[in-house]
Structure 1
């Protein structure tokens, strides 16, 4: 494999991250794509605002972004600890099967291990994403049953009551 650098996103990476988010949206089947300027402003606010809402680790091979992992910390996890939640792990097709995803997941584990009070790393994937599920199994991770996910879309309703 080419030399792979894994590092946190910096403010100068915002345009590249915003472009990759469009690629991720298209990968998941989106047909309506947010204008680039709006997406860029949201990336800048989320990753580099005060405080940041999330963090992003980039995988770069020969000056090209080939993957990213976006994460945040959630509290509480087990007892009063917190967890590192991987919201997105994406590797471009030309970076797959070359160790990029493995490096990103190992980096997520290293970040969690270095964060005092972080008790675990958590993430989700779609049940029909056989490739992702096989990838996580190859890394030795087990699937957990029992959770039901809920989501309210962009038209978030006013609180009930």
Structure 2
């Protein structure tokens, strides 16, 4: 049974390992992420994001990282999913769907009008998941990135 719950400071270590797995998935180094950076970003005085962890019998199966965007439409807010990741051994078991359902519930509870995210074109499993969830691709945006 998959249980979805917000991460706490005590989860910093497992989040670090999962972030390393995400980096490896996209071709980077699988080294665990810096735990001090994670604590500052998630549990510091001004959190940058919230993480949900999917667990089975205490084992972390995956995570979703999200924040809020404003304005979304008019003065509405949206929940923005930055990262959805399911560990290799837990894939195809409904974990991603459970995380997406939890995100939709949080968005509704917090008054958001929608959930938004991007997906890499080179990630067919993710694209197939979103299609299976019945979500249409939004063709109206172009993604930009600049370093600071």
Instruction: Answer yes or no: same fold by TM over 0.5.
Output: yes
Distance across 2 between alignment mates of 1:53 and 1:31: 24
Q: 1:79 to 1:112 in 2, by over 3 A?
A: same
Which ranges of structure 1 fall in alignment gaps of 5 or more residues?
157-161
Q: Secondary structure at the match of 2:4?
A: strand
Look up the match of 2:89. 94
Q: Secondary structure at the match of 1:89?
A: strand
TM-score scaled to structure 2, two decimals?
Answer: 0.95
Q: 1:10 to 1:149 in 2, by over 3 A?
A: same
Give the Å deviation of 1:31: 3.7
Look up the match of 2:45. 50
Give aligned pairs, total.
148
Q: Deviations over 1:103-124 (max 9, x none)?
A: 00000000000003x1110011
Q: Deviations over 1:15-43 (max 9, x none)?
A: 1101110111111111485x75xx11111
Q: Deviations over 1:35-89 (max 9, x none)?
A: 75xx111110111111211000000112211100000001110001111000000
Distance across 1 between alignment mates of 2:64 and 2:57: 18
Give the Å deviation of 1:147: 1.1
Cα RMSD between the aligned structures?
1.4
Look up the match of 1:112. 107
Q: How does 1:3-152 map to 2 (within 5 A)?
A: 3-31=1-29, 33=31, 36=33, 39-116=34-111, 118-152=112-146
Q: Secondary structure at the match of 1:90?
A: strand
Larger radius of gyration: 1
Q: Which stretches of structure 1, 4 residues or longer, exceed 2 Å deviation after superposition?
A: none
Distance across 2 between alignment mates of 1:32 and 1:132: 20
Distance across 1 between alignment mates of 2:100 and 2:29: 29
TM-score scaled to structure 1, two decimals?
Answer: 0.87
